[in-house]
Amino acid sequence: MLLTAHGGPTIIRLTLASGTIAWPQETECFAPRRSRRAPDRPVAEAQPLHAVRPFLRNWVWEHGRVGTRYLDCITGEVHFDEGKKAHFATEVHIYVSLRKDADAAAHAGPAIHEGGLARLVHAAQQGRPADAGSPAEIQRAVHDCVELALVSAYQRDAEQAQARYAQEPMFDHEIRAAVIEDVRRIWVGVREQLARYDFTIFYGFPQPFLISDAPFIDWRVRAKPAIPLVSLPLGPYSLLVGTPSARTSRSAPPLWKEAPAMGPFRDHNRHQVDSARRWLVATTDEQLVAVQPRFAPPEPAGPGPESTAGSR
């Protein structure tokens, strides 16, 4: 990501293999909030903190009938969840600390400042950087976004590991330790990389985004050709984007930028559909109906030739 100035507003240029995309720079800025930490419990127990629910508030429809449109990835059915609570997001998360020096017993959910996170997410969707708080508050909220994004991202690996070890002659605490070890082997390094990334909050996209139960996208792995980006949808028209920093120490404060075009993120919704395992949320039924065939359960097999012949 390159910043250039030509006697006027600073221009942010994102250079990709397919070309260069430029956005005008807006406000630099990281919100007060109370802290909540999911208590340390066995990995299979329910936790009070849900990694994606803080972002789902921006997909709530509030014109007349209040609720959220979502597709159940298991049944392939489109539903409207009444209210603002995202009742469909009931999956139990497995929490593993990704701190490099984490204690073996200290694997609880990350400490999240909910008030500041909510302020950032709302400001991003409304395109009002000034409403997000001070630079320090915004930086903390972006940090919380990244922590929650990683929790949602490693769930598949954690669940697969837990199912695998459950088949072994192991005690519960041994299964827990093995799951933690497997997740940390993959994801501790990813968290360390992201700690050195520069983050930008893009808002005002011309087309709405989908969000799934696994919304974090690592474009270095998912895109072809690879793009040095990671992203997390904050709302239907806003996106948190991380790019590698040239700095060797701490990353820079997050930037705010308006996005007049979809740019490299035109494939965002396709990646959300690919990663969805439990549910997929959209602003309109049409978006969900368009991808519904992918999640529809197979039709029951018809009667075989012998059964058909016997009925004649």
Mean pLDDT of 80-104: 91
Q: For residue 292, what are its two tokens? A: 């519904």
Whether the model clears a pTM of 0.75, i.e. scores above it, the answer is: yes
Long-range contacts of 291-300 (CB under 8 A, 24+ apart): 291/71, 292/71, 292/76, 292/78, 293/76, 295/71, 295/72, 295/73, 295/74, 295/75, 295/76, 296/76, 297/74, 297/75, 297/76
Task: Identify which of 224, 214, 263 has the alpha carbon closest to the alpha carbon of residue 241.
Answer: 263
Distance CA 63, CA 192 (A): 42
Indicate if the pLDDT at residue 38 is higher than 50. no
Single-letter code of the amino acid located at 247: R
The better pLDDT of the pair 157, 307 is held by 157
φ, ψ for residue 236 (rounded to 5)?
-60, -25
Residues in the chain: 312
Distance CA 176, CA 234 (A): 31
The better pLDDT of the pair 18, 146 is held by 146
- What's the pLDDT at 36? 47
pLDDT category at 224 given cuts 50, 70, 90 is: confident
Can you tell me whether residue 28 is helix, strand or coil?
strand
Indicate if the pLDDT at residue 160 is higher than 90. yes
Indicate if the pLDDT at residue 307 is higher than 70. no
Distance CA 227, CA 22 (A): 16
Indicate if the pLDDT at residue 6 is higher than 50. no
- What's the pLDDT at 78? 96
Reading phi first (left if > 0) and then psi (alpha if -120 to 50, else beta), residue 64 is in left
Q: For residue 274, what are its two tokens? A: 């690919």
Q: For residue 36, what are its two tokens? A: 């909540």
- What's the pLDDT at 306? 54
H helices of the chain, in order, are 53-56, 114-126, 135-153, 155-166, 172-194, 219-222, 268-275, 285-295, 305-310
Do residues 30 and 141 make contact, with C-beta atoms less than 8 angstroms apart? Answer: yes
pLDDT tens profile 94-109: 999 999 888 766 777 8
Mean pLDDT of 267-278: 96
The single-letter DSSP state of residue 163 is: H
H helices of 230-295, in order, are 268-275, 285-295
Percent of the chain with pLDDT over 70: 79
- What's the pLDDT at 120? 97
Distance CA 117, CA 103 (A): 26
Do residues 139 and 250 make contact, with C-beta atoms less than 8 angstroms apart? Answer: no
Rounded mean pLDDT of the chain?
84
What is the distance between the terminal CA atoms of the chain, rounded to a whole angstrom?
71
pLDDT tens profile 16-36: 444 554 544 444 443 334 444
What would you measure as the largest C-alpha separation in the chain, in angstroms? Answer: 86
Cis peptide before 32 (omega within 30 of 0): no
Q: For residue 226, what are its two tokens? A: 């690879």
